[in-house]
Structure 1
Amino acid sequence: MSNMDTAVQDEKVRSAAYQLLTKRGVSMDDLVDLVEYLQKPYYPDLTREQCLHNIQRVLEKREIQNAIITGIQLDMLAEQKALVEPLQCIVETDEGLYGVDEVLALAIVNVYGSIGFTSYGFIDKVKPGILKTLNEKKEGVCHTFLDDIVGAIAAAAASRLAHRRFGTK
């Protein structure tokens, strides 16, 4: 693949990730709220602009874009009842022992170290803001992967912010 082809492909992947988040009802403001929730207790002078900047840097990474696209596509296929059984039932009901949705989320936070892991575990348990909405079970809507992806993006951005604040990464 030439450099031009690579640049075009990179832009397609980046654009698809952003569009899918938006299409599924996740705004940048929602993500900013989550990063603030995670970091404000440790960083009282934190601004929304700083949160947004770190979210955008996280979303620039191709492996994170790939995780977004993959997870959301699986949620959409589950809504269309297009997955094979028993996977269809497992994803559709967000079965507690499935765990692949969390594994995909951990691939996102892994980029930013242990602060990302602990922040993700916390936010996944508490489910503040948009995470509570995404976790609600509604007929015909599946967010099995999306709620974990969104929590992981916020945790990764919070971790990136913390590392930058203390002079690492």
Structure 2
Amino acid sequence: MSKPKLLYNRDEMLKINIDTLKNRCNVSVLDIAKIAQQQQSKYYPGIDINLCVESVEKILTFRDVFHHIQFAAEVDRLAEEKMFKGPIQDILFYDLGLFGIDETIGLDVARNYGAIGQTNFGDIDVNKHGIVKRLNDAGKTEGIVHTMMDDIVGAIAAAASTRVAQVMNEDIALENPSYQKISLFDLKKRKR
């Protein structure tokens, strides 16, 4: 008997994650990118949506994020099908406000981009920007469970938003005429 495939390359993880988001909760990369764009537009007016899309796609290639998305989608599906036993079934099914594991998992995804990623996630989680609001509202409908996925989607948007800010700031730093770009190889030459 052959072992099941356990490891996926970045391209495979990206494709599987995109398919999971679409199939589980009808969320696209563009839906998530719009949240990142909205969050960063107050700092960078006219920000290009393509940078936001690129940032979301980058995050969807991370192995930890792959595991989070796949896990969250299955938890929500099983809760929707009433496959859990005991109190956890109702807690997940009705998205109990005091249940914080969904936010904890979201914070873990946002943590890929440090404290700012987590702060951005807090804003998205509290204010329910864009597609996150639709998921949260749909999850309040009898028979639809997005307890985990609304937080995962918000966390991906938060991480993408933070990546966008980092890219924009790097571009600004490179425009500074007093900034001298030095590569690792230049540093090695100086030590000799």
1:40-119 matched pairs, under 5 angstroms: 40-119=41-120
CA contact (8 A) 2:21 2:27 kept: yes
Q: Quote the RMSD (CA, aligned, Å).
A: 1.7
- Aligned residue pairs: how many? 163
CA contact (8 A) 2:18 2:29 kept: no
1:12 positional shift: 5.0
1:63 positional shift: 0.3
* Percentage of identical aligned residues: 36
Q: Determine the C-alpha separation between the residues in 2 that align with 1:6 and 1:65.
A: 12
- Which position in structure 2 is the counterpart of 1:17? 17
1:32 positional shift: 1.5
1:153 partner amino acid: I
- Which position in structure 1 is the counterpart of 2:170? 167
1:68-106 residue CA offsets vs partner (Å, 9 max, x unmatched): 110111000001000121110111111111100011111
Does 1 or 2 have the higher relative contact order (CA < 8 Å, sep 6+)? 1
Q: Determine the C-alpha separation between the residues in 1 that align with 2:35 and 2:84.
A: 31
Summarize the Cα distance change of 1:6–1:71 in structure 2 as closer, same or farther, 3 Å threshold: closer
CA contact (8 A) 2:113 2:159 kept: yes
Q: Determine the C-alpha separation between the residues in 1 that align with 2:75 and 2:6.
A: 25
CA contact (8 A) 1:101 1:145 kept: yes
Q: Determine the C-alpha separation between the residues in 2 that align with 1:165 and 1:17.
A: 26
1:143 partner amino acid: H
Summarize the Cα distance change of 1:134–1:81 in structure 2 as closer, same or farther, 3 Å threshold: same
Summarize the Cα distance change of 1:83–1:29 in structure 2 as closer, same or farther, 3 Å threshold: same
1:80 partner amino acid: E
1:2-13 matched pairs, under 5 angstroms: 9-10=8-9, 13=13
- Secondary structure of the corresponding residue to residue 145 of structure 2: coil
1:13 positional shift: 4.3
Summarize the Cα distance change of 1:52–1:14 in structure 2 as closer, same or farther, 3 Å threshold: closer
TM-score (norm 1): 0.90
- Which position in structure 1 is the counterpart of 2:35? 34
Q: Determine the C-alpha separation between the residues in 2 that align with 1:13 and 1:59.
A: 7
Of 139, 149, 154, which aligns to 1:146?
A: 149
TM-score (norm 2): 0.80
1:34 positional shift: 0.6
- Runs of 5+ consecutive residues of structure 1 not aligned to the other structure: none
1:35 partner amino acid: A
1:35 positional shift: 0.7
1:36 positional shift: 1.1
Q: Determine the C-alpha separation between the residues in 2 that align with 1:152 and 1:92.
A: 21
Point out the structure with max Rg over C-alpha. 2
1:20 partner amino acid: T
1:149 positional shift: 0.4
